[in-house]
Amino acid sequence: DAGVTQSPTHLIKTRGQQVTLRCSPKSGHDTVSWYQQALGQGPQFIFQYYEEEERQRGNFPDRFSGHQFPNYSSELNVNALLLGDSALYLCASSLMGQGVYEQYFGPGTRLTVT
């Protein structure tokens, strides 16, 4: 049973560039959430996608956008990168409609902005 997968593992970008991160949910899951984890901090919720729509959003600027595809996989896009966007980006998947919505995390994408 495949768990949550993310690509790429590591990424280095220059300030002002744009980046796209990808996530495939755990088999059987239909909901994807994205989190940003800065060094030494806990993860911060960015947004959640269900049925190809953004269902909830955290306190992140519009430079952060996402998409969910019919196969439930998801992309996180960040425009006009800032040095402060350097972080580990985590994707979590869950199954809506279940009694307890356990969120399972992928290994993350380490983004470095120089």
- The site for another protein (CB under 8 A) is made up of 4, 31, 33, 35, 40-45, 48, 55-56, 58-59, 90, 92, 94, 96, 100-108
Residue 74 Cβ, how far from another protein at the closest point, in Å?
15
Q: Which is nearer to another protein, 17 or 105 (CB)?
A: 105
DSSP character string of 52-111:
TEEEEE-S--TTEEEEE-TTS-EEEEE-S--GGG-EEEEEEEE-TTSSS---EE---EEE
Q: Which is nearer to another protein, 17 or 41 (CB)?
A: 41
Q: Which is nearer to another protein, 48 or 68 (CB)?
A: 48
CA distance 50 to 54: 7
CA distance 15 to 85: 9
Q: Which is nearer to another protein, 14 or 59 (CB)?
A: 59
Residue 82 Cβ, how far from another protein at the closest point, in Å?
21
Residue 16 Cβ, how far from another protein at the closest point, in Å?
28
Among candidate residues 22, 6, 17, the one with its CA nearest the CA of residue 114: 17
